[in-house]
Structure 1
Amino acid sequence: MWSAIVVLSLVGCAVAGPPVTRSRKDIEAFRAYLERSRTDDGLRLESRMLLNPKASAWENSGKFQGDILLTDKQAEVLIQQYAGVGARNAFMWPNTKWPRNTVVYEINNEFTQAQVQAIRASMAEIEEHTCIRFRRKTRFDRNYVLVTGRPDGCYATAGYHETMGMHTMNIGKANPGEGCFINAIIIHEWLHIIGFLHLHSTHDRDDYVHILWENMVEGGDYNYEKFDTDMVNNMEVPYEYASTMHYDRYGFTANGRPTMLPIYNDDGLMGQVDYVTAWDWLRVNRHYNCPWAWETPVYADEISQGRANHAALEKMPQGDVVEDLPQEKVLVADTPQDLEAEKVSVVEEAPKDQ
């Protein structure tokens, strides 16, 4: 059963609740955790999966909240908010939407042809369901996403940053359908690039999940901070356990027991990595103001009363789903005129499978 509504748009966010003054020791411990999350600890994803086999590959990737690669500015603002000294209206990630709804990318040449096709298939699926477009990097592009295959996991930069230049998306090499190369996980990382965090961090998550702090590894609680109502745009889309952006039950467990449980019946879907939901697509379309996105109904009466959202889905006419939204052709003005956002195919030159 899916309950209520939430999405984290990276227009900006702050730790939920009134400012809390923490001890210097607590603040320095949090700072150390964030710094560790931004460096390579030498562990391969396979090793982390052995330590916590019940969590997903992206939860086990060693970054902030598992798979978010923080910038210097993002880390510093998180520290300020944790310490209770950050301004309540200080945006963490302003203007993080990709210009003209177009993600510029380059795929590293370390992947096999099958792996490249899997990456490009995820891009094609995003293009099919949203007005986001992808375009290969040219020599004119300073800001772009470099897709790499380091063995330490699946993770990505959150949002677009004009001064960053190269943005990172890492998909640890594996056979398609395994590890980081599960299609919904690749799309999960693209959604970070596009500008989204995880649903479990939203301000009203405690209405829908129980956090079991006692079962977490030391420092694991940092990954469950909430974000404030006046900083998070929920896009008027329901909170859903089945979202591809939702944690499962066992993230950062110390003892193999759950660290988060659904309050309502989730039909076993919380944290699933089998598919991307219609509401995941709707969040993206609304965040990027795609055509007709805000006209797609989500039955706010069901949401406000906290009823089962799967009932709302059953009532939704087939013609109202986001897959039917018209697609918008996007041009990139700052590059030569012939460089249009491409319609991604799943065929690209790459090294032969080994």
Structure 2
Amino acid sequence: MWSALVVLSLVGCAVAGPPVTRSRKDIEAFRAYLERSRTDDGLRLESRMLANPKASAWENSGKFQGDILLNDKQAELLEQQYAGVAARNAYIWPNTKWPRNTVVYDFNNEFTHAQIIAIHSAMLEIEEHTCIRFRRKTILDRHYVRITGKPDGCYASLGYWKDIPVHILNLGKAEPGEGCFINSIIIHEWFHILGFLHMHSTYNRDDYVHLLWENMKPGYEYEFERFEYDVADNLDLPYEYASVMHYDRFAFSKNGRPTMLPIHTDYGLMGQLDYVTGWDWHRVNRHYNCPHAWSSEEHSDESYEHEYKVEENAAVEDGQEDLADDLPQEEVVEDLPQEELAPDTPQDFVAEKVSVVDN
């Protein structure tokens, strides 16, 4: 079953379409866009939210595709691919998975107790649903994720890079449940650390979403580039509107109108932030070759959650040895709400399918 994945796994990162030679003006504009996404423009997240209040906090964070913090090598490879100066297979990025499925992290000592609890809750939820483990940095660790609280947004480095010791996960400080401290946004940023791109970047996204270029902010059209199938592994899982990694309708809108609309019925779930889906967890498990992740080709959200329920409960009862020792004693991970968002179905499209789309 061919389907869409948002992972920069082994993963190449190539702009969709055959390699072509761009004009100097086009290349310079793309380079300027990449540099702009990597530069602190001094704007706080609150300012960007006022400019586009319908978009989510992570979409408004001023980085590549909203919240991806590119390193020098990633920016260079993206520019070369855009310019069409080399074969695409030169830009497959191997070894970007965290070794031994373990993410090493450290705090920047700038968060409140409640904020630390919220971050730990998201980490524990990832541990409960996947084989990923988190471990606090020691003096012997060279590679780790530094969790910071700069006010410019929610964003993260993409994947593990052995040549770059310090990876960044930034969460603009807010009350838990608000701004960057919405649980699903914290998990979204950890997914970038694990190597995942956004759902709308996949090679076959044009079969599932319709882009409204006329509503996009000038110069931000690059946020909607997609990646070719020959360098992105879809792990045989579906394109999913409800994925916690999917843009919503109003990302990078210049006029408050949608920039992206679902071609099939999404029941108002595209870009939802209420919960992480079963398919999201399954993508992580397959990407990191977790036990039993490849034993079945497809699951519904309900069957997937049921299948792993016993294992999750057992893990909680036994104690998460890697993370639990670092968690506050009062930490409790609650079930996330499964409610649907209000529909915003466009007039131009006919409802055909549900939020998880099988080909």
TM-score range, shorter chain: 0.7 to 0.9
Q: Matched residues in 2 for 1:225 and 1:215: separation?
A: 16
TM-score by length of 1: 0.87
Matching residue's letter, 1:228: E
1:305 alignment counterpart: none
Q: Is the 8 A contact 2:104 2:143 kept in 1?
A: yes
For residues 18 and 313 of structure 1, the distance between their equivalents in structure 2, rounded to whole angstroms, comes to 35
**Runs of 5+ consecutive residues of structure 1 not aligned to the other structure:** 300-311, 330-339, 350-354
1:49-68 correspondence runs (5 A):
49-68=49-68
Counterpart contact for 2:2–2:234, Cα < 8 Å: no
Instruction: Say whether 1:35 aligns with 2:35.
Output: yes
Aligned to 2:204: 204
Contact preservation (8 Å) 2:278, 2:305: no
Q: Does the C-alpha gap of structure 1 residues 97 and 31 become closer, same or farther in structure 2, counting only changes over 3 Å?
A: same
The DSSP-based 3-state class of the residue aligned with 1:293 is coil
The root-mean-square deviation of aligned C-alpha atoms, in Å, is: 2.2
**How do 1:256-271 residues align onto structure 2 when only pairs under 5 Å count?**
256-271=256-271
Write the letter of the residue equivalent to 2:11. G
Distance 1:317 1:152, change over 3 A: closer
Whether the 8 Å CA contact 1:217–1:252 is kept in 2: the answer is yes
Amino acid at match of 1:347: P
* Percent of residue pairs identical: 67
Corresponding residue number in structure 1 for 2:133: 133
Question: What one-letter code is carried by the residue in structure 1 that aligns with 2:116?
Answer: V
Deviating more after overlay: 161-170 vs 83-92: 83-92
Deviation at 1:326, TM superposition (A): 7.5
Find the aligned partners of 1:323 and 1:91 in 2 and give their Cα distance. 39
Following superposition, the deviation at residue 342 of structure 1 comes to 3.6
Spell out the pairing of 1:297-316 with structure 2 (5 A cutoff).
Answer: 297-298=297-298, 313=301, 316=303
SS, match of residue 88 in structure 2? coil
Partner residue in 2 for 1:96: 96
SS of structure 1 residue aligned to 2:17: coil
Residue 90 of structure 1 aligns to a residue whose secondary structure is helix
The answer to which structure, 1 or 2, has the higher relative contact order (CA under 8 A, 6+ apart) is 1
Distance verdict in 2 for CA 1:264–1:77, change over 3 Å: same
Cα offset for 1:162? 0.7
Alpha-carbon separation, structure 1, partners of 2:105 and 2:313: 20
- Correspondence for 1:7: 5
Cα offset, 1:5, TM superposition: 2.5
Deviation of 1:318 (Å) = 6.0
Counterparts of 1:69 and 1:157, CA distance in 2: 5
Q: Alpha-carbon deviation of 1:238?
A: 0.7
SS for the counterpart of 2:210 is strand
Give the secondary structure class of the aligned counterpart of 1:34.
helix
Q: 1:70 to 1:247 in 2, by over 3 A?
A: same
1:203-250: CA deviations, max 9, x gaps? 000000001111101111101111111101001111100000000001
Does residue 252 (structure 1) correspond to residue 252 (structure 2)? The answer is yes
Letter of the structure 2 residue corresponding to residue 176 of structure 1: P
- Per-residue displacement from partner, 1:12-31 (whole Å, max 9, x unpaired)? 22112211221101100110
Q: Distance in 2 between matches of 1:54 and 1:42?
A: 22
Give structure 1 regions of 4+ aligned residues with deviation exceeding 3 angstroms.
Answer: 316-320, 322-329, 340-346
Residues 1:276 and 2:257 aligned together = no
SS in 2 for 1:75: helix
Cα deviation, residue 297, structure 1: 3.9
Question: In 2, Cα distance between the equivalents of 1:317 and 1:97?
Answer: 24
Aligned length: 323
